[in-house]
Amino acid sequence: MAPEFLSWLTDGSTPLYLAPQAGVSESPFRRLCRRFGADVVVSEFVSAAGIVRNTERSHGYLRFDDAERPIGIQIFGADPSVMADAAALVAEVYAPDFIDINFGCPVKKVVKRNGGSGCLRDLDLVERIIRAVVAATPLPTTVKIRSGFDEATRDPVGIALRCQDAGARVLCLHARTRADMYGGHARWSEIRDVAAALEIPVIGNGDIACGEDARRMRDETGCAGVMIARGSHGDPWIFRRARAALDGDPMPSEPDVDERFAVCLEHARNAIAFENDSDRAIVDFRKHLGWYTKGLPDGRRLRTELFQSNTLEDVESMLERYRSEQGALASV
């Protein structure tokens, strides 16, 4: 039987995806996003070479909780046989709902070794990687691409058709080239062109900053699903707003400060529980503290303090002090 997320992609319900994001779409955040309305989540990219070498670090990225399903594990690499071995191992040991291949990562270290968006310079290699992964696992193989490596190779429809021919079951397009990095705007017209050209479902990605953007992307491009990355930072609630916009329901209210802090602390506790090293976990968590407190009155001062926190107790007392100071100000 086809996994549920594949049927959602053809029945017009427009599932919302939490995007794969290194250092962000980890298990604790994926669980929160699922609770607030993400229909599908994807792990951060994991090195296929690291998986087959059984490095502790790579395997740490592969763990997930059943509450996160449907979940895809995203892998990257430039060697088709290593990618195939990694996909087979992930399917057998971790049994996610799908395997996603990263052809979008713009980071120099990855591109230099032809991984991520580096593959987009050699579409024969892209095809060989997809075919190898499809043959190695019974799980659906999905791919995430950019529109090209640079302006000269920009050809989202051509690249996407080759991915489909090679056996990809779903294709996600981040409508920028590698050379664009994160600059300018994602070209949603390219998502529309790819969605029109392909038989497989196309997920649109790029620049969803609010719930209404998700509806606009669906309506302007005809994409089968919408993927959100940066818009979810410090704001897992974006998924319930996006769902309301897609379904034409009343827009849920923004979370108040108490809810924001409660979810931030829950996220922090889970992040610490998930990591073996709690000191490192809280330092890694500082970016989320910055995001959860964005836009608050006197938020800059609070963030300066939070960026110096070394323990969960530090964070708890800083947030509590902020609440009582703001409460006192409000009652003057």
Per CB under 6 A, 22 contacts ligand FMN = yes
Per CB under 6 A, 48 contacts ligand FMN = no
Per CB under 6 A, 179 contacts ligand FMN = no
Q: How many residues bind ligand FMN (CB under 6 A)?
A: 22
Which of 58, 205, 293, 309 touches ligand FMN (CB under 6 A)?
205
Per CB under 6 A, 144 contacts ligand FMN = yes
Which of 21, 142, 147, 177 touches ligand FMN (CB under 6 A)?
21
Query: d(Cα 206, Cα 226) in Å, to the nearest integer?
Result: 9
Q: What distances in angstroms separate CA 239 from CA 29, 30, 58, 130, one per listed residue?
A: 13, 12, 28, 30
Which of 77-85, 99-107, 161-169, 263-271 is the region at the interface with ligand FMN (rule: CB under 6 A)?
A: 99-107
Q: Which residue has tokens 């409000």? A: 330
Coil, strand or helix at 298: coil
Which of 27, 58, 102, 177 touches ligand FMN (CB under 6 A)?
102
Q: Which amino acid is at 245?
A: A
209 versus 273: smaller Cβ distance to ligand FMN: 209
DSSP 36-78: TT-SEEEEEEEEHHHHHTT-HHHHHHH---GGG-SEEEEEE-S
Per CB under 6 A, 229 contacts ligand FMN = yes
| Residues 37, 239 contacting (CB under 8 angstroms) | yes
113 versus 230: smaller Cβ distance to ligand FMN: 230
Query: d(Cα 32, Cα 266) in Å, to the nearest integer?
Result: 9
Query: d(Cα 172, Cα 323) in Å, to the nearest integer?
Result: 41
Question: How long is the chain?
Answer: 332
Query: d(Cα 187, Cα 264) in Å, to the nearest integer?
Result: 33
Which of 6-14, 102-110, 278-286, 300-308 is the region at the interface with ligand FMN (rule: CB under 6 A)?
A: 102-110
* Residue 105 falls in the annotated catalytic set: yes
Per CB under 6 A, 20 contacts ligand FMN = yes
Which of 26, 85, 207, 213 touches ligand FMN (CB under 6 A)?
207
Per CB under 6 A, 170 contacts ligand FMN = no
Query: d(Cα 39, Cα 307) in Å, to the nearest integer?
Result: 32
CB of 46 to ligand FMN, least distance (A): 8
Please tell me which residue in 105, 119, 223, 264 is annotated as part of the active site: 105
Which of 31-39, 100-108, 213-221, 296-304 is the region at the interface with ligand FMN (rule: CB under 6 A)?
A: 100-108
- First and final CA of the chain: distance in angstroms? 62
Could you give the residue numbers annotated as active site? 105
Residues that bind ligand FMN in the complex, under the rule CB under 6 A:
19-24, 44-45, 74, 102, 104-105, 144, 174, 205-208, 228-231
